[in-house]
Amino acid sequence: AAERWYQWEQAYEVQVQVADLPAGRDPGDLWKDDRGALATAIERAAPFLQFRIDRLLAGADLRTLESKARTAEDAAAIIASHPSELVRDQYVMKLAGMLDIDADQLRAAVRAGPRRRPARESSRGGDTDAPPPPRPTQVDRRELDVLRWAIHSPQLVADWLDSSLFIDPAARSVFELLAESATFQEALDASDDSTRALLQRLANEEPPEVEDEDELATLRARLMTNTVEPAAQRLLARMLHDGDERGSEVKTLLSAMTHHREIGDWEAARHDAEQLVGWAVARADANEGRGSST
């Protein structure tokens, strides 16, 4: 199947880009529910070969030399399917650095061609003696995005990001590890198997560099609005269920934030989001207080 994609690219002189959408979501649904997440997915769309390798690495256990070697073999099989020698060699050099493996050895494995189907892309077969690597944790893309920036550019989120804004338990655990640790390595050392895999994955996914002040302000606003939106929606549902009349204020802020985001007024959207963060954090603190007093 991969070879047919590459033949199609060559025949029509185009490059296939793959957008990694949240599990079980199609672009139409995401456009209705979270246009920001769809825009982010499109912005981060990767070439087909890069997508396949990223998927392999996301589920790989790279803690031992043996597992790195197996991952390198699987990656070599994927790279070997690309028709361009120049492209193949670029990926060889990149992966050699990531996996700390000699580039010439990896290059030789690519030239030898696939000896077996890559482990992460095969539903059957592969090494029967070794246990399969853990499946990558499926987390809301918005939460992955803000965690990625929290690792690589913490100054963008340090003064507003809170554990109460995370709905997914794995994402919340990763954030709490980062918040409680002085360094990323300290967080990694304190992690368990599930959070370690997610931490390693996010550490390897470096976001693009942003230096322009206006672009940084927009990025900060986008991160804040995308992160707080699901938490605020959940908060609103609880307030309506409890008959809390203040829910109308949260609903008004949510509607305003959505409108400002859609028209591209990121400064106003950020202002709305800051207030919603305050609501979400205050509600979480109140719930913890009630829980500790019982």
**pLDDT the model gives residue 120:** 44
Please tell me the pTM assigned to this model: 0.54
Residue corresponding to tokens 């400002």: 260
CB 19 within 8 A of CB 41: yes
**pLDDT the model gives residue 119:** 45
Between CA 174 and CA 144, with CA 27 as vertex, the angle to 5 degrees is 10
210's tokens? 């942003």
Domain ranges of the chain: 2-121, 137-155+168-207, 210-294
pLDDT means per 10 residues, the chain with 294 residues, are: 50 61 66 74 76 77 78 85 81 82 84 57 43 55 89 92 90 93 90 86 84 90 91 88 90 92 91 94 76 45
CB environment 182-211: b (16+ within 10 A), e (fewer): eebeebbeebeebbbbbbbbbeebeeeebe
**pLDDT the model gives residue 202:** 87
Say how far apart CA 118 and CA 125 lie, in whole Å: 9
Residue 92, judged by CB atoms within 10 A of its CB (0-12, 13-18, 19+), counts as: buried
HSE, CB side, 13 Å, CA atoms: give it for residue 80: 19
